[in-house]
């Protein structure tokens, strides 16, 4: 399997790949799955947002390819939370049944109508945006 330049690491050369603690190269599949596992319940993101957040030179289509193989990966990858840029359930045909992706999203509170998320802008999760601290977590001086 081809390996890619270390994501978002400016000090790495083009010939280097990201290394795990046991010195195995990390594939772009593993980078994609790590991002997808961070998507909160009840939220969705897009193939393009994942491609951008990976820091690798991959396309949304390559993310889709990785998601197609996510069904047998351990730990589990919540592939149902990844949709196309319009909020459409474009990957639904790769689930065990044609309606499983929608059913999983609806169990998490995401509203779907005609294979499209109705409140897409509200439930969209951007993997590149850091979580903002809660107001009550600020220290008082």
Residue 46: enclosing H or E segment and its boundaries? strand 45-46
Domain residue spans in the chain? 28-122
Strand, coil or helix: 115: coil
What is the spatial distance between Cα 61 and Cα 125, in angstroms, rounded to a whole number? 19
| Top CATH class, 28-122 | mainly alpha
Confidence label for 129 from pLDDT (cuts 50, 70 and 90) = confident
Mean pLDDT of 111-139: 80
Find all residues with CB under 8 Å of 116, minimum gap 6, and list them: 86, 87, 88, 89
pTM of the entire structure? Answer: 0.75
- Structure token digits, residue 88: 């459409």
Mean pLDDT of 89-108: 95
């Amino acid at each position: 399997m081809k390996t890619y330049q270390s994501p978002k690491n400016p000090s790495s050369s083009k010939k280097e790949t990201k290394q795990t603690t046991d010195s195995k190269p990390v594939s772009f599949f593993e980078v994609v799955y790590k991002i997808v596992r961070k998507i909160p319940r009840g939220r969705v993101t897009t193939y393009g947002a994942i491609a951008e957040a990976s820091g690798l030179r991959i396309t949304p289509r390559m993310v889709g390819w990785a998601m197609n193989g996510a069904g047998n990966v351990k730990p589990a990858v919540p592939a149902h939370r990844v949709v196309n840029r319009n909020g459409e359930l474009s990957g639904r045909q790769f689930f065990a049944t044609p309606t499983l992706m929608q059913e999983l999203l609806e169990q998490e509170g995401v509203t779907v109508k005609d294979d499209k998320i109705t409140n897409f802008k509200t439930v969209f999760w951007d993997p590149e945006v850091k979580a903002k601290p809660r107001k009550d977590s600020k220290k008082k001086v």
